[in-house]
Amino acid sequence: MIIKCLALDDEPLALEKMGNYIRKTPFLELVGSCRSGFEAIDFLSKIRVDLIFADINMPDINGLDFVKSLQDKPQIVFITAFSEYAFEGFRVNALDYLLKPIGYNEFLKAANKVRNYFETIRASREEQDENKDYLFVKSEYKIVRISLDDIIYIEGMREYVRIHLTTGKSLMPLISLRVLEEQLPSSKFMRVHRSYIVNLEKINTIDHSRIVFDGKIYIPVSGQYKDYFQKFINLHSLG
């Protein structure tokens, strides 16, 4: 398993050091480095990452506020020079925090904790893939059971998602697209855009990097997901 990482720190030397630690760790991949929360927000709109090593003490927008602002949150390891920030970090569901100055041994302990988390999630999803054919969602004060076969695609809408069904109806549960993605079997569903998950079994036509449903609904496949989607196409292509 390779975990795609973003390093975020306003101090150039600290950012370089964190980048070197990530590159040194075999199961981590550094896909970007940013020096401000606003730069990171722009980066994340184009590139998907699994994990952010985020400094808390930054000007303009601190690491905590930056994470709270994200609609589609990756996993987080916070970096700080002040231990009193640890509790606040865990309140936003950070996996761990590192206290400056950071040695590689401390970094590796946090990285292994992250790897264990992702491996547990993957094992759970593989088990779900074998047995799961429905899920329950809360919509309009009701809990509704949905057959996975009835889902065409799912659209992210800030705090909500819109689940489009074969019946022509849709449901809007209060949940993030990333959380819902973790609940869906990866053998049937794929994230193809920061705002869309599609049911792979419902795809009939692909037109210029767009998935077409019913000849009138066009779902774009964005660059950061194109390689994953192309692998699926190649796996199920003749010749």
Q: Which two tokens stand for residue 180?
A: 């819902």
- pLDDT single digits (tens) 223-235: 888 888 888 888 8
Question: So what's the pLDDT on residue 130?
Answer: 59
pLDDT at 9 over 80: yes
Question: So what's the pLDDT on residue 148?
Answer: 92
Question: So what's the pLDDT on residue 150?
Answer: 95
Considering the domain 134-235 in this protein, what is its CATH number? 2.40.50.1020
Question: So what's the pLDDT on residue 85?
Answer: 58
Question: So what's the pLDDT on residue 141?
Answer: 75
% of residues, the chain, pLDDT over 70: 92
pLDDT at 76 over 70: yes
pLDDT at 53 over 90: yes
Question: So what's the pLDDT on residue 171?
Answer: 92
Mean pLDDT computed over every residue of the chain: 87
- In sequence order, the β-bridge partners of residue 143 are 138
SS (H, E, C) 70-129: CCCCCEEEEEECCCCHHHHHHHCCCCEEEECCCCHHHHHHHHHHHHHHHHHHHHHHHHHH
The predicted model scores a pTM of 0.61
Residue 166, SS3 per DSSP: coil
**What b-and-e string marks burial along 41-69, b requiring 16 or more CB atoms within 10 Å of the CB?**
eebbeeebbbbbbbbbbbeebbbbebbee
- pLDDT single digits (tens) 78-126: 998 876 655 565 566 788 989 989 999 999 999 999 999 888 877 766 6
For the stretch 222-230, contacts whose Cβ atoms lie closer than 8 Å and that sit 24 or more positions apart, written own/partner, are: 222/192, 222/193, 222/194, 223/46, 224/46, 224/47, 224/48, 224/194, 225/48, 225/190, 225/191, 225/192, 225/193, 228/190, 228/191, 228/192, 229/190, 229/192
Which CATH number among 3.40.50.2300, 3.40.50.2000, 3.90.1280.10, 3.40.980.10 corresponds to the domain 3-129? Answer: 3.40.50.2300
Mean pLDDT across 121-142? 74
Residues 198 and 184: beta-carbon distance below 8 Å? no
Q: In the chain, where are the structural domains located?
A: 3-129, 134-235
Residues 153 and 219: beta-carbon distance below 8 Å? yes
Residues 52 and 6: beta-carbon distance below 8 Å? yes
